[in-house]
Protein backbone atom coordinates (compact mmCIF):
# COMPACT_ATOMS: atom_id res chain seq x y z
CA UNK A 1 0.00 0.00 0.00
CA UNK A 2 1.46 3.33 -1.09
CA UNK A 3 0.39 6.61 0.45
CA UNK A 4 -0.92 9.27 -1.98
CA UNK A 5 -2.23 12.80 -1.85
CA UNK A 6 -4.85 14.22 -4.17
CA UNK A 7 -5.79 17.84 -4.76
CA UNK A 8 -8.96 18.19 -6.81
CA UNK A 9 -10.88 21.13 -8.27
CA UNK A 10 -14.68 20.78 -8.16
CA UNK A 11 -16.90 22.64 -10.61
CA UNK A 12 -18.31 25.98 -9.41
CA UNK A 13 -21.89 25.48 -10.65
CA UNK A 14 -22.65 23.61 -7.38
CA UNK A 15 -23.28 25.19 -3.96
CA UNK A 16 -20.49 25.01 -1.41
CA UNK A 17 -22.40 22.35 0.59
CA UNK A 18 -23.18 20.32 -2.49
CA UNK A 19 -19.58 20.61 -3.64
CA UNK A 20 -18.34 19.24 -0.32
CA UNK A 21 -20.78 16.33 -0.58
CA UNK A 22 -19.76 15.76 -4.16
CA UNK A 23 -16.11 15.61 -3.16
CA UNK A 24 -16.85 13.07 -0.47
CA UNK A 25 -18.97 10.89 -2.73
CA UNK A 26 -16.89 10.98 -5.88
CA UNK A 27 -13.42 11.01 -4.34
CA UNK A 28 -13.37 9.53 -0.84
CA UNK A 29 -16.02 6.87 -1.28
CA UNK A 30 -14.61 5.86 -4.66
CA UNK A 31 -11.24 5.20 -3.05
CA UNK A 32 -12.92 3.05 -0.40
CA UNK A 33 -14.70 1.05 -3.11
CA UNK A 34 -11.36 0.16 -4.65
CA UNK A 35 -10.07 -1.18 -1.31
CA UNK A 36 -8.16 1.85 -0.03
CA UNK A 37 -8.66 3.89 3.10
CA UNK A 38 -8.83 7.68 3.37
CA UNK A 39 -6.47 9.08 6.04
CA UNK A 40 -7.12 12.81 5.80
CA UNK A 41 -9.75 15.11 4.30
CA UNK A 42 -9.82 18.89 4.00
CA UNK A 43 -12.28 21.03 2.03
CA UNK A 44 -10.58 24.36 1.23
CA UNK A 45 -13.69 26.05 -0.13
CA UNK A 46 -13.85 28.69 -2.84
CA UNK A 47 -10.63 29.79 -4.45
CA UNK A 48 -9.81 31.88 -7.48
CA UNK A 49 -7.76 30.44 -10.33
CA UNK A 50 -4.53 32.00 -11.48
CA UNK A 51 -5.86 31.69 -15.05
CA UNK A 52 -9.17 30.77 -16.64
CA UNK A 53 -10.07 27.07 -16.92
CA UNK A 54 -12.87 26.34 -19.43
CA UNK A 55 -13.88 30.01 -19.16
CA UNK A 56 -14.32 29.82 -15.38
CA UNK A 57 -12.50 32.03 -12.89
CA UNK A 58 -12.90 30.07 -9.65
CA UNK A 59 -13.69 26.66 -8.16
CA UNK A 60 -13.78 24.56 -5.00
CA UNK A 61 -10.58 22.90 -3.82
CA UNK A 62 -10.50 19.57 -2.01
CA UNK A 63 -7.45 17.86 -0.49
CA UNK A 64 -7.25 14.23 0.65
CA UNK A 65 -4.62 11.68 1.60
CA UNK A 66 -5.23 7.97 1.09
CA UNK A 67 -3.58 4.56 0.93
CA UNK A 68 -4.10 2.39 -2.14
CA UNK A 69 -2.45 -0.35 -4.16
CA UNK A 70 -0.29 0.89 -7.00
CA UNK A 71 -2.18 -1.02 -9.70
CA UNK A 72 -5.50 0.63 -8.92
CA UNK A 73 -4.34 4.20 -9.44
CA UNK A 74 -4.89 3.90 -13.20
CA UNK A 75 -8.51 2.88 -12.57
CA UNK A 76 -9.02 5.90 -10.33
CA UNK A 77 -7.62 8.23 -12.96
CA UNK A 78 -9.87 6.76 -15.65
CA UNK A 79 -12.99 7.28 -13.55
CA UNK A 80 -12.07 10.77 -12.43
CA UNK A 81 -11.28 11.84 -15.98
CA UNK A 82 -14.81 10.87 -17.01
CA UNK A 83 -16.42 12.62 -14.00
CA UNK A 84 -17.87 15.96 -15.12
CA UNK A 85 -17.95 17.55 -11.65
CA UNK A 86 -14.18 17.27 -11.33
CA UNK A 87 -12.41 20.00 -13.28
CA UNK A 88 -8.87 18.86 -12.51
CA UNK A 89 -6.99 16.66 -10.07
CA UNK A 90 -3.37 15.97 -9.14
CA UNK A 91 -2.15 12.78 -7.47
CA UNK A 92 1.25 12.88 -5.77
CA UNK A 93 3.18 10.39 -3.66
CA UNK A 94 3.56 11.10 0.05
CA UNK A 95 6.96 10.27 1.58
CA UNK A 96 7.79 9.84 5.25
CA UNK A 97 9.84 13.07 5.52
CA UNK A 98 6.93 15.27 4.35
CA UNK A 99 5.31 15.19 7.79
CA UNK A 100 1.72 14.71 8.83
CA UNK A 101 -1.12 16.27 6.82
CA UNK A 102 -2.60 19.50 8.19
CA UNK A 103 -5.53 21.76 7.50
CA UNK A 104 -5.04 24.63 5.11
CA UNK A 105 -5.31 27.40 7.74
CA UNK A 106 -2.66 25.76 9.93
CA UNK A 107 -0.41 25.26 6.92
CA UNK A 108 -0.72 28.94 6.02
CA UNK A 109 0.38 30.03 9.49
CA UNK A 110 3.33 27.64 9.38
CA UNK A 111 4.44 28.94 5.97
CA UNK A 112 4.27 32.55 7.16
CA UNK A 113 6.36 31.82 10.24
CA UNK A 114 9.01 29.93 8.22
CA UNK A 115 9.17 32.78 5.74
CA UNK A 116 9.84 35.26 8.54
CA UNK A 117 12.63 33.06 9.88
CA UNK A 118 14.15 32.81 6.43
CA UNK A 119 14.13 36.58 5.99
CA UNK A 120 15.83 37.03 9.36
CA UNK A 121 18.48 34.43 8.52
CA UNK A 122 19.11 36.14 5.18
CA UNK A 123 19.73 39.39 7.03
CA UNK A 124 22.43 37.39 8.87
CA UNK A 125 25.14 39.56 10.31
CA UNK A 126 23.18 42.80 10.28
CA UNK A 127 20.53 41.58 12.71
CA UNK A 128 23.10 40.20 15.17
CA UNK A 129 25.07 43.46 15.13
CA UNK A 130 21.93 45.45 15.84
CA UNK A 131 21.05 43.15 18.73
CA UNK A 132 24.52 43.62 20.27
CA UNK A 133 24.26 47.39 19.97
CA UNK A 134 20.85 47.45 21.62
CA UNK A 135 22.14 45.30 24.49
CA UNK A 136 25.13 47.62 25.08
CA UNK A 137 22.90 50.68 25.19
CA UNK A 138 20.57 49.02 27.67
CA UNK A 139 23.48 48.20 30.01
CA UNK A 140 24.77 51.78 29.89
CA UNK A 141 21.34 53.16 30.70
CA UNK A 142 21.04 50.87 33.68
CA UNK A 143 24.31 52.18 35.08
CA UNK A 144 23.29 55.80 34.57
CA UNK A 145 20.02 55.42 36.46
CA UNK A 146 20.28 56.51 40.15
CA UNK A 147 19.54 54.06 42.99
CA UNK A 148 15.99 53.43 44.17
CA UNK A 149 15.89 55.84 47.13
CA UNK A 150 17.06 58.78 45.05
CA UNK A 151 14.56 57.82 42.38
CA UNK A 152 11.66 58.25 44.79
CA UNK A 153 12.91 61.66 45.83
CA UNK A 154 13.26 62.71 42.24
CA UNK A 155 9.76 61.53 41.51
CA UNK A 156 8.38 63.53 44.46
CA UNK A 157 10.16 66.67 43.30
CA UNK A 158 8.84 66.17 39.82
CA UNK A 159 5.32 65.77 41.16
CA UNK A 160 5.65 69.04 43.09
CA UNK A 161 6.89 70.84 40.03
CA UNK A 162 4.08 69.52 37.94
CA UNK A 163 1.49 70.56 40.53
CA UNK A 164 2.93 74.07 40.72
CA UNK A 165 2.97 74.33 36.95
CA UNK A 166 -0.61 73.19 36.72
CA UNK A 167 -1.66 75.96 39.08
CA UNK A 168 0.44 78.57 37.34
CA UNK A 169 -0.51 77.76 33.78
CA UNK A 170 -4.26 78.55 33.80
CA UNK A 171 -3.77 81.94 35.60
CA UNK A 172 -1.36 83.47 33.09
CA UNK A 173 -3.49 83.39 29.95
CA UNK A 174 -6.49 84.71 31.91
CA UNK A 175 -4.59 87.88 32.88
CA UNK A 176 -3.52 88.43 29.31
CA UNK A 177 -7.08 88.09 28.13
CA UNK A 178 -8.32 90.64 30.66
CA UNK A 179 -5.85 93.30 29.51
CA UNK A 180 -7.32 95.44 26.80
CA UNK A 181 -5.02 96.97 24.11
CA UNK A 182 -5.20 100.40 25.80
CA UNK A 183 -3.99 99.00 29.14
CA UNK A 184 -1.18 97.20 27.37
CA UNK A 185 -0.02 100.50 25.89
CA UNK A 186 0.07 102.11 29.32
CA UNK A 187 2.17 99.31 30.75
CA UNK A 188 4.67 99.50 27.90
CA UNK A 189 4.90 103.31 28.25
CA UNK A 190 5.65 102.99 31.96
CA UNK A 191 8.38 100.48 31.30
CA UNK A 192 9.92 102.70 28.65
CA UNK A 193 9.94 105.65 31.03
CA UNK A 194 11.66 103.60 33.70
CA UNK A 195 14.34 102.56 31.26
CA UNK A 196 14.89 106.14 30.03
CA UNK A 197 15.12 107.51 33.55
CA UNK A 198 17.74 104.96 34.53
CA UNK A 199 21.05 106.80 34.87
CA UNK A 200 23.11 103.64 34.86
CA UNK A 201 22.30 103.09 31.22
CA UNK A 202 24.08 105.60 28.93
CA UNK A 203 21.67 106.18 26.13
Partner 1 sequence: MPPRPKKYICAFCRQNVKHIDYKNSKLLSQYLTFYRSIQSRFHTGVCLKHQKQLATSIKRARNMALLAAVRYDK
Residue numbers at the binding site for partner 1 (CB under 8 A): 7, 9, 49-51, 53, 63, 88, 90, 92, 95, 97-99, 104, 107, 111, 114-115, 117-118, 121-122
CB-nearer residue toward partner 1: 123 or 154: 123
Contacts of residues 77-81 at CB distance under 8 Å and 24 or more positions apart, as own/partner, are 79/30, 80/8, 80/26, 80/27, 80/30
The CB-of-107 to partner 1 minimum distance in angstroms stands at: 7
* Integer Cα distance of 89 and 8 in angstroms: 4
Taking the least distance from each CB to partner 1, the nearer of 121 and 171 is: 121
Given the complex with partner 1, which of 120 and 159 has the nearer CB atom?
120
Q: Least CB distance from residue 6 to partner 1, whole Å?
A: 11
d(CA 200, CA 30) in angstroms, rounded, equals 112
Rounded to the nearest whole angstrom, what is the least distance from the CB of residue 108 to partner 1 in the complex?
A: 9
Helix, strand or coil, per DSSP, at residue 4: strand
Asked if 65 and 28 count as a contact pair (C-beta separation under 8 A), the reply is no
Closest approach of partner 1 to the CB of residue 62, in Å: 11
Choice between 14 and 49, CB closer to partner 1: 49
SS3 state at 54: coil
Under DSSP, the state recorded for 109 is H
Asked if residue 26 lies in contact with residue 78, where contact means CB atoms within 8 angstroms, the answer is no
Are 27 and 8 spatial neighbours (Cβ–Cβ below 8 Å)?
yes
Shortest Å distance, C-beta 20 to partner 1: 18
Nearer to partner 1, 95 or 177 (CB): 95
Amino acid sequence: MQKYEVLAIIINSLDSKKAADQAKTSISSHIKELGGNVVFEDFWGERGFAYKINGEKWGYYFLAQFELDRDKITELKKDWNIDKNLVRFLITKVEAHMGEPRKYEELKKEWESTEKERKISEMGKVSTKKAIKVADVAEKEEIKEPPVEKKEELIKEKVKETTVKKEAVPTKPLEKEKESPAEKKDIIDKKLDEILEDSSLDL
